[in-house]
Amino acid sequence: MIKRMHVAVNCTDIEKSLTFYRSFFGVEPTKVKDNYAKFELDEPALHFSLNVRSFEKKGVLNHLGFQVNNTEEVLAMGERLRQSGLLLIDEMNTTCCYAVQDKVWVYDPDGNAWEIFHTKEDSEFESAGDPRDLSLCCASPAAPMPVEFTSFRKK
């Protein structure tokens, strides 16, 4: 039986990443070393780890996310993240990935995009924008990829 999904991402600075993910997940990590950290979440069941490694900034990962039950949960999570000082991008009633969704986005210190979303209904179209521009869907077009962690924190 599956206990938790496991996601491991590379990071360049463990302290910057820990600051972000403590705020993002709203919990403390269960293990922290000089080049590694682990969060074990119960809701949702996720084993999430950070590994300090060199990597290309534009790798194969598109984005990560959590699907929630309704728009109210999207808004509540968005508010919690805003209260933590993380800069969010709101996309309400947007068409993406052949669905109409309400969502918020944040980026971690290494540029990994996270979305919190609720799917309202299916769509015939992949995105609401130009169908030739696939960058409009499943990676927030409103936010440039951050270079420094300070871009995540409200001034």
CATH of the domain at 1: 3.10.180.10
100-135 CB burial, b ≥16 within 10 A, e <16: bbbbbbbbbbbbbbbbbbbbbeebeebbebeeeeee
Residues 68 and 23 in one domain: no
pTM of the model: 0.74
Residue 58 forms part of a structural domain: no
CATH number of the domain that residue 79 is part of = 3.10.180
Q: In the predicted model, is pLDDT for residue 133 greater than 50?
A: no
The pLDDT of residue 58 is above 80: no
pLDDT digit string (tens) for 14-46?
A: 999 999 999 999 999 999 999 999 999 999 999
Same domain assignment for residues 29 and 87: no
Tokens 């130009």 found at: 130
Average pLDDT of the segment spanning 56-60 = 68
Distance of alpha carbon 145 from alpha carbon 143, whole angstroms: 6
Q: Are residues 79 and 22 in the same domain?
A: no
The yes-or-no verdict on residue 59 having pLDDT over 70 is no
User: What range does the domain containing 32 cover?
Assistant: 1-53
Total domains in the chain come to: 2
- Tell which residue, 143, 111, 106, 142, has the closest CA to residue 24: 106
CA distance linking residue 110 with residue 149, whole number of Å: 8
